[in-house]
Amino acid sequence: MMTKSRKPLALWWLTLLGTAYFVAGKFGLSLAFVNASASPVWPPSGIAFAAFLLLGSRAWPAILVGAFLVNVTTAGSVATSIGIAVGNTLEGRLGADLVRLFANGRGAFDRARDVFKFVVLAGLFATTVSATIGVTSLTLAGYAAWLDYGPIWFTWWLGDAVGALVVGPILILWSVPSSVPWTRMRILEGAGLLAAMVALGALVFGGTSGDPLTFLCVPPLMWAAFRFGQRATATVIGLLGVLAIWATVRGLGPFADRAANESLLLLQAFLGTMAVMSLLIGAVVGERRRDEAALARLAAIVSSSDDAIISKTLEGVITSWNGGAERLYGYSAAEAIDRPISLIIPPDRPNEMLRILARLERGEHIESYETMRMRKDGTRLEVSLTVSPIRNASGKITGASAAPPRSGGTSPRRNARRRRSGRRRRSDPSRAWPWPPPTRSTIRSQSSRERSSSSPGRPAPAPGPASSRCSRRSSGSGRWWRVWAGSTGSSPRTR
């Protein structure tokens, strides 16, 4: 879904964005060797992609003007500069829209599958637009030969692709506030990571040409991915790119033993591979951490629940036993886990749970049912069980969970007995309770009549018991009414 622009960007925002694009573009074209307008290093593609993703379509004037000024002040004509600027603008807009539609937009780096979509859509596919429009504009205007179309197109495309993969994530990830606090130990560890990256980068790219030490760049990237998340990972990749480009241009490092354009193409392929690998690993690590946090929350809910929640394998072996089960059945978790579920099943029902588990394994739905369970001290409990399947990542049923209530008093059978008892009580006049329940005023009136009836000339009523209790449950409010009446002549109390 495309971002709707609420209002145009401020002029200073557009000026800042266009200036950043222009400066990055001039740096990129300073490394153009196969053609004056085609560079294997093109950071502006990442700037354009991030601008359209973060700011929406409002960023197009800055990108268009910046791209035009970069090209018109370098080589070519006004017409070719306009064509190249249009291609660069469409490239950034298309990549941002595709990522927003299919790769979770700004959250494209949170999940591995979204990172993969970002690489394919914004890094590999959208960049073909700029390369195709730009090289076609140059060849049609006579600034490039048709025989050189392929090499120029590949150089243009690879530079734009790596720029989107390296620069784009840095800008997007740093635009979102970090939720992880930077403690003193974390700051020291981050400084150590940067120092290690600089030292290894100098060792790999600052030594003799042809040294096969590029594998030493992998440990700092993995360190950043596992310990600091995607933002630090993208930053370390950018730092590695700066060191590598600086050394390769000066004839240093393992990629500098070829022609200038070929050396930069090999370096860009290396940086793009490192970026994709590191971002994917960082996304996997982030997903795992979020899953572990969610599981910890669910485990806390289950363990602190008063309901007895038990999980077991399809063979009937107990695998989890929460605090509610400990209180209900009397067994601790250490006593119950890895033991058969027959531990709490009465001896006269030996195969009940195994039959339920067999039905569950066949995919049948198990309705809630009533049964008996046995505590550690041998007493029996009437419970209503709800059995649910436990599935693994592939969807296969590997176990079951059973969650009876804290006591057997809420089973449908017991509720039915209570309803029948209530009907019998209402049908028997001798057992019926007075209704409506007596209030304070009615008790006072009754007490006045009793005192008047005990006046001279009238026989006194027979003394009642020392204390009588009358209770009635109100079906409307669900409250219990209790009335205690004292002996004759004493003032009644209501509660």
CATH number at residue 319: 3.30.450.20
Same domain, 278 and 141: yes
Report whether 44 contacts 67 (CB < 8 A). yes
3 part of a folded domain = no
- pLDDT tens column, 473-483: 434 433 333 33
The verdict on residue 428 lying in a domain is no
In a domain, 431, yes or no: no
Tell me: the pLDDT tens digits for 230-251? 999 999 999 999 999 999 999 8
Tell whether 226 and 170 lie within a shared domain.
yes
Which of 235, 265, 295 is at the close of a domain? 295
| In-domain check, residue 366 | yes
User: Are residues 283 and 182 part of one domain?
Assistant: yes
Query: Is 420 part of any domain?
Result: no
Q: Is the domain of 323 the same as that of 283?
A: no
- The answer on 101 and 19 residing in a single domain is yes
**Do 287 and 316 belong together in one domain?**
no
Dihedral, 458, 464, 469, 473 alpha carbons, nearest 10:
-40
Distance (Å, rounded) from C-alpha 136 to C-alpha 80?
9
- Reduce the DSSP state of residue 280 to 3 states and report it: helix
Q: Is the pLDDT of residue 351 over 90?
A: no
Q: Are residues 284 and 385 in the same domain?
A: no
Taking phi first (over 0 means left), then psi (-120 to 50 degrees means alpha), and beta for anything else, what does residue 356 get?
A: alpha
Other CB atoms within a 10 A radius of the CB of residue 146 amount to 9
Q: Is 377 exposed, middle or buried (0-12, 13-18, 19+ CB in 10 A)?
A: exposed
Task: Give the ranges where 250-331 is alpha helix by DSSP (H).
Answer: 260-304, 323-329
Which residue range forms the structural domain that includes residue 473? Answer: 442-454+462-495
| Pick from 83-97, 166-180, 291-305: least confident | 291-305
Three-state DSSP at 77 gives coil
Same domain, 230 and 373: no
5 domain-assigned: no
Q: How many angstroms separate the CA atoms of 169 and 43, rounded?
A: 12
Query: Which residue has 């609420």 as its token pair?
Result: 6
- For 294, how many CA atoms within 13 A lie in the half-sphere containing its CB? 6
Residues 285 and 350 in one domain: no
Same domain, 160 and 222: yes
**Residue 94: inside a domain, yes or no?**
yes
Q: How far apart are CA 93 and CA 109, in angstroms?
A: 19
Phi, psi of 40 (to 5 degrees): -75, -10
Q: 410-419 contacts: CB < 8 A, separation 24 or more?
A: 410/384, 411/370, 411/382, 411/383, 411/384, 412/370, 412/384, 413/370, 413/382, 414/382
Q: Is residue 436 part of a domain?
A: no
Both 282 and 391 in one domain: the answer is no
The count of domains in the chain is 3
The last residue of one of the domains, among 263, 295, 327, is 295
Does the pLDDT value for residue 458 go beyond 60?
no
Classify residue 437 by its DSSP letter: P
Instruction: Tell me, yes or no, whether 59 and 196 share the same domain.
Output: yes
What was the pLDDT predicted at 160?
A: 97
pTM: predicted TM-score of the whole model, two decimal places: 0.73
